[in-house]
Amino acid sequence: MKNKILLFITILCAYFIKAQTLPQTISDTTFTIGKTVKIKSKILNENRELNIYLPASYNLDSIKTYPVIYLLDGSKDEDFIHISGIVQFGSFSWINMLPESIVVGIANVDRKRDFTYPSKNELDQKEFPSSGKSEKFISFIESELQPYINSKFKTSKEKTIIGQSLGGLLATEILLKKPNLFDNYIIVSPSLWWDDENLLNFKPINYNNNKSIYIAVGKEGQVMERTAKELYEKLNSNKKQNTRLFFNFLENKTHGDALHIAVYDAFEKIYSSKK
């Protein structure tokens, strides 16, 4: 019995000694990297959530304007946080990889619906029953989202879009059909298999402004790798002097982890070529 009491006292003393060595909490606040805005889209007839990252200097300089990076799959539990981290790191003055930029993460409602144009392939239609509404989503970007961001934030004229997988399919569709919506296109692992690869047969719309296009794919199987390379070759065969075109095969990455390193590489290549 005495041994049990002694053990209890020893444990109790150890607890109080440990408690006394813990530092005192001075403050406890929530850490955030941006804000979330909800807007009502008349074109889509639904509410859409936007996650916004603003550079550290945003509220310190009343005159400065910032390029805008539009991120597909931009939910908090998708790609918004880690892409915003790349932008923050890359724009540090001692890194100077890209200019301080605003990131607009477009949270998803139904990405299969929004990121795909109508497919004639019966299997596509069966597996993606809500698909085929990309034209409406592109109209939302052009007529509602971009004007809204320009009216609410201090934006410059430079605009970038980042899309992976079905998001890469949408970014490619915008590049080919409405290229003037963005200046820089970062297209990663695009799902160009959609509709029996018919987007690769589309004749691109001409543009006159400067354009930077970065295409990357990981070790993702014969179809994904081939179609990404074919997109690059298609664009390269008609490349103008006002276009900077890049391709990267990420042989050590897969469909699941290619985006992060691809975006970092894209920023390095796009902005080093502009200096």
Question: What local confidence, expressed as pLDDT, does residue 11 receive?
Answer: 61
Output the DSSP codes for 184-208: EEEEES--TTHHHHGGGGSPPPP--
| Pairing status of strand 35-41 against strand 46-53 | antiparallel
Question: What local confidence, expressed as pLDDT, does residue 15 receive?
Answer: 57
Question: What local confidence, expressed as pLDDT, does residue 185 receive?
Answer: 98
Q: In which element (H, E) is residue 161 found?
A: strand 155-164
Look at residues 32, 100, 94, 36 and name the one whose alpha carbon lies nearest to residue 68.
100
Question: What local confidence, expressed as pLDDT, does residue 238 receive?
Answer: 86
Which residues fall within 8 angstroms of residue 252, CB to CB, at 6 or more apart? 218, 219
Query: Residue 104: pLDDT above 80?
Result: yes
Residues 157-213 have pLDDT tens digits of: 999 999 999 999 999 999 999 999 999 999 999 999 999 999 999 999 999 899 999
What DSSP character marks residue 57? T
Query: Residue 245: pLDDT above 80?
Result: yes
pTM: 0.91
Look at residues 70, 69, 75 and name the one whose alpha carbon lies nearest to residue 48.
75
Mean pLDDT of 117-135: 97
pLDDT band of residue 240 (cuts 50, 70, 90) is confident
Residues 21-64 have pLDDT tens digits of: 888 899 999 888 999 999 999 999 999 999 999 999 998 878 99
Quick one: tokens of 184?
A: 């820089």
Question: What local confidence, expressed as pLDDT, does residue 2 receive?
Answer: 53
Strands ordered across the beta sheet of 155-164: 35-41, 46-53, 102-106, 66-71, 155-164, 184-188, 211-218, 243-250
**What is the overall mean pLDDT for the chain?**
93
Pairwise CA distance, residues 149 & 233, whole Å? 34
